[in-house]
Chains A and B, each alone.
Chain A
Amino acid sequence: MRFVDEFRDPGIITRTAEEIRRLAGATRHYRFMEVCGGHTHAIYRFGLKDLLPDNIELVHGPGCPVCVLPMGRIDDGLSMSLQPDTIFTAFGDMMRVPGANGTPLEYKARGADVRIVYSPTDALKLARQNPSKHVMFFAIGFETTAPSTALTLMRAKAEGLRNFSVFCNHVTIIPAMRAILDSPDMRIDAFIGPGHVSTVIGCRPYEWIARDQRKPIVCSGFEPLDILQSIVMLLRQMNEGRSVVENQYKRVVPWEGNRAALRAMSEVFQLRPYFEWRGLGFISQSALRIRDSFAEWDAERRFQVPGIRVTDPKAAQCGEVLKGVLKPAQCKLFGRECTPEHPVGALMVSSEGSCAAYHNYQFLKSSMVPEIHAAV
């Protein structure tokens, strides 16, 4: 696969890992947070932790849009699926996320019309093909995904397609990072910065982190060599006493971002005054709602939603894990009441949630000593 396999070259990976070991030395302890859930998933999938020396610690950040969605919002969306002649559509990621009364798949088992879509345009297509039904699209994602929802709404409006609406749960990354940095327990040295979000917002929005908080940040791609190279760049910055924003993912991320995407977002969305983030509490100016000019396609206005706040069980420590204060295994429910089969919190459901990633890929490894020496 072009632009993928080159960045999985085993020889270069091994040499880059050696450079990391050399740069990290033996005395200093480094704590790097990868913000993006996609990076968390990649780190586990490629087994990158095995390549890092013990004095580099990777802390998982809150960049998982499924994980930070409060249960009440899921219930709101699912209540729409119970309306007659309504088709509930969402990405596969949402299908096993539990609301108070079940997951979308469980609602489907009970008779609701719940369908997986790969793209919001597929939901729009469903609306065109089913004029007697209403198609509701449960939109999630950071700034990577929001422009696609925005464009889809613009297309719906241009076509005058009335049997389509979007339940908007898009959130923005910078306020989440601010919440991490403002947290009193925060002990992060540097950031492996968002990759695909940055294709939309560019690298400028992170400058305050480097300049004011004095934390290096490198916008990173998702292949093993991308993440390893980003770690090299962070180590170099730290060893040289610098803190700047760097773009490791240059083949795809423009420094200034994607103007057309940003324009589409501002035409369709505006910032909510505040929004509840699961585990992080209420954060102001951190989420998007649909503008009045698109009110007719706003599911929140077309449907009556319960709007009930559902608090997480007290024992669940999703918030601390999201902020990187606790490791997944340190949560009291991890691996016992809360497993991928019976998730209590969304961090265990989403494949990029740190708890699920840790449980699926690492947990069994850490409880025994594998005798593995891969030949290179």
Chain B
Amino acid sequence: MGRFIARRVVGMVVVMFAVSVLTFLIFNVVPNGDPAVRMAGKNSTPVQIAAIKKEWGFDQPLYTQYTTTMEKVFTGDLISYANQTNVVEEIKRGLPRTFALAIGAALLWFAMGTALGLYTAIRAGRFSDTLVTVLALTGVSMPVFWLGALASYYLGFKLALFPNGGYAEIGEAGLWEWVKHMILPWCVLATLFIGVYSRVLRSNVLDTINDDYVRTARAKGLSERRVMIHHVLRNSLIPIVTLWGLDFGMVLGGGAILTETVFDLQGVGQYFAESVGQLDVPPVLAVTLFGAFFIVLLNTLVDIVYAALDPRIRLS
């Protein structure tokens, strides 16, 4: 276990290094990517641009620029090129918003995906199975920006059931206001995943239900409920938990860009999207590292949980 974690930590450092180098290089070859020109504005003279280059260190060799930028990431002194704000502070501000969205939506899609997957497997071939299957596929097919915009317009703006986007701090506005702001983003983000998860679980359950040990469980005189939960679902959920961990890591690391943007949650994902639009390297680099960290972290956790759920798997 100790060796496993040590190896994963080393792996994480390697991954984050590679990701940061790639991100940094990409933005140096993007057309119109020269930050000095952008910062100097439209009617700037070459002298002004040269001055900015000198001031910000853009005249230094690329590897020097990289190391100074990376140093600032870890000391928290990283400044955005586009609006001169502190990047680490911006991420810290967006963090609770992104976490609130990710955790709520992930719990919702896991619970609903499991429930619907199990239900459709038990009712396989009947009308209710077909109906839920159609709904699940519809959910998968609806783009988040479209579904989010619809929900926001009709439920938020027209019917005024929910606030029309934005985020409310629990400390300032209270728990209920916070929940009201989060319900639509949670549901919209979860919709896609519920569709996928329920389909995957349905087929897992239908595979497992024919396994010999399920027959043994029935022969033991267990109730059908116990057979389904303790034997069928317990084994069918193992791959779902893996999937869930990876998706959760992605959303936690700011991957729910569209949802955050549509509902104007001002989370890390939305910050990332805006920064990319401005070709603003420091925040893009920082958020990418932030996302990579969560994805690698959740990957490691998934492996540990997987070994706990399935005794045949050993961590090595």
- Same complex for A and B? Answer no
